[in-house]
Structure 1
Amino acid sequence: MTPVHTQARRAFMKNMAAAAAAASLPAISFAQNTAATEHKFAPQAGTWRSFEVTTRVNILKPQGVTRLWLPMPSVNTDWQQSLGSSFSSNGKTQITSDGRYGAQMLYVEFAENEAKPVVELTSKVRTQNRSVDWAHPHAASEDQAALNYWTQPTHLLPTDGIVRQTALQAIRGARTDVEKAQKLYDWVVVNTFREPKVQGCGEGEIQTMLETGNLGGKCADLNALFVGLCRSVGLPARDVYGLRLAPSAFGYKQLGGNSASLQGAQHCRAEVYLKQYGWVAMDPADVTKVMRQETPEWIKSSNHALVAPVNKALFGSWEGNWMAYNTAHDVTLPHSTGPRLGFLMYPVAENAAGRLDSYAPDDFKYQISARDITA
């Protein structure tokens, strides 16, 4: 995250904290119309889908040498398989990684005299719904050194001070790691809120959120807060950065993407490691998104008929209409002259004038689309 973004984020958080204190939530008349309606959101693993995801970038106003980094899907698990990528460009191309987390990316360098820099990257992935069977625990095994790695602090995820104090208060009375994770998940859902005015997916500066008392943000803020709280009490956890690819099969418009145009469809999720279940899917941020944006009015309660199925399912499940790029924090871009990133989920470009704004796809022109190629 750049110093400018950090300063802007802190100023925004402080202003929003004051506004949040002064404003009251709107009344929920929608609840009266939906209280008797049965809503379903219960992703179950078992059916794979294949997608072809295309990112096209045009640099409209090149200045000097232009450098570009595009995230590529580099996660291979029992819920996603990365099937390779192809690309074309009038620049010099190289597949590289961040060198620490294994986050793959396409690096493109355009010559100073290239008037119309362009690149197109196409990646293929297989995805499926993900769910945990809470009724059948098993002896999960992963190297302890690897697990310790996912409890360490990062630049944006400190694990001491106010972060640890908050987590310890939240998990009071919990004895098992499942109970601790549930209490932290519930704490995030109850105490934070989706703030649509935040740029992109947010920055994930969780200490500032807690210190200012402004707990509004988007997925990279709220899921990062969950991850940081987990790490601070010894639960291995990580953010998973990716992209929504298709509409939700359960009818929730906020939990899917428009495959033809995926600008703004970036979404990060979270995982926590539980001793008797292994790595488990989590997404408290999407619960708050449904509460804030699924209906015209802000739903206050996670027990609301529309929200409750999502709140229950996203503790342990997520839908396979989404593709993971990586789990990388504190990303150093190869060949970059700019500051490191908190995470790599958007196209990134730099030229002689500095780093372009990844959150402005119409100015830093890029388009992302997905095509279901399952058949």
Structure 2
Amino acid sequence: MSHLFPNYVRDEIELVSGKGCYVYDQQGNQYLDFVSGIAVNNLGHQHPKVVNALNQQAAKIWHSSNLYTNSLQENVAKKLAAGKDYVTFFCNSGAEANEAAIKMARKATGREKIISFEQSFHGRTYGALSATGQPQLQQGFLPIVEGFEYLPYNQIEPLKEKLDASVAAVILEVVQGEGGIIPAEKEWLKSVEHHCRANGSLLIIDEIQTGIGRTGDLFAFESYAIDPDIVTVAKALANGIPVGAMLGKKKLAEVFGPGSHGTTFGGNNLAMSVAATVLEEINQEDFLAAVKSKGDYLINELNSLIDKSEKVLAVRGKGLMIGIELDSADSLKQVLNNLKTNNILALKAGATVLRLLPPLIIDQQTLAEGAKKIKESILILK
């Protein structure tokens, strides 16, 4: 009998250790990790600089609370801003970051409505779940928070029709993750930004899964040449140590004055020490260029499947966030099992999309080996 709630469908393997791009189960079996803790371990497992940062801070102080000055937070906030006009609130997860963004948008504008998009995913707390455009995830938890509306992704006319003086903000993912690895079209995203500005609505970009180098930029929105008002990050920010953050334009700083919002553990010393190291390693021109190059290579390799297998409908993504759309949920299940047999761990996105999220540090040879096994695992489908 388990003493855990059964809210996860868990694999029978238990991952007990990891090194670089590989993880090991309780039987000592080695797997190439194309999950990365769901886009968390961007620097892989046991990265020496990350381990060193954690150990050094652990020997000093773990937690000091937000009642005191924290230079570690100031350091990470500066690195996240990367020269842009942002200030940061630290929390513990992506859902918490999006909760903060929703509160910020409503308080800053004095408006109530938040527009989100169909098949989006923003978290499972009440506010974040209410922003998530997937009704099946909301079942059993109704009523959700009022004031949210969901529109078709990559279509500008529905948004133009709904933007009015009641809309506080528009929240979106630059690449929809859980919804099926669906990248935003550049012209659409630029148009969303334009119409938000014209309407006095804030633009919130959810970078929980796409941020911290995953798409080949520090933030995915950077390749679209837009300037969001609020950005939320988490997952890879501390390579597995729980942390989240909401970045907002400096003009919004006064909205979150003393007593307006808070957290006990957010921005704790351990998380901040690791996050600083992660940002130093990832936010480098050569590192990010290599992510783009490896992503282009993997997408090109996988695109060959479209002509070779009737099971493969599309290949899409940015950087090392890639989805392969299959013809059915059954095909997806078979591929995931085939991959595990071939000692590769991957995951799904939506009902029929194979999601590939390898560590960003993966070398070319290992990536090529992974691509070969992925293709083999799909081509044997009946």
Which one has the bigger helix percentage? 2
Q: Give the TM-score taking structure 1 as reference length.
A: 0.24
Q: Give the TM-score taking structure 2 as reference length.
A: 0.24
Which one has the bigger strand percentage? 1
